Amino acid sequence: MMSGLGDYSATDLPKLLAGKTASAAINIDEYTEKIAASSVTKDIETMLQLVYLRL
């Protein structure tokens, strides 16, 4: 099952991120919590927004 992010559905996200190069992922396990994110310089704000929505 695919879910969205924040108030955005899984079908909205590709439309909102079209033309952007940014991603973010969160991984939480028994001993660690990790945040991984990447973007090109012009899309740093989008990357940080994705991190915020994933938290």
Q: pLDDT-based confidence at 12, cuts 50/70/90?
A: confident
Give per-residue pLDDT as tens, 13-52.
888 889 999 999 999 999 999 999 999 999 999 999 888 8
**pLDDT at site 1:** 45
Q: pLDDT-based confidence at 2, cuts 50/70/90?
A: low
- The larger pLDDT score, comparing residue 34 to residue 2, is at 34
- The larger pLDDT score, comparing residue 24 to residue 5, is at 24
Per DSSP, which regions of 1-55 are E strands? 22-28, 33-39
Task: Give the list of residues 6+ apart from residue 49 with CB closer than 8 angstroms, or none.
Answer: none
Q: CB–CB of 37/25 below 8 Å?
A: yes
Residue boundaries of the structural domains of the chain: 12-54
| Encoded tokens for 3 | 């879910």
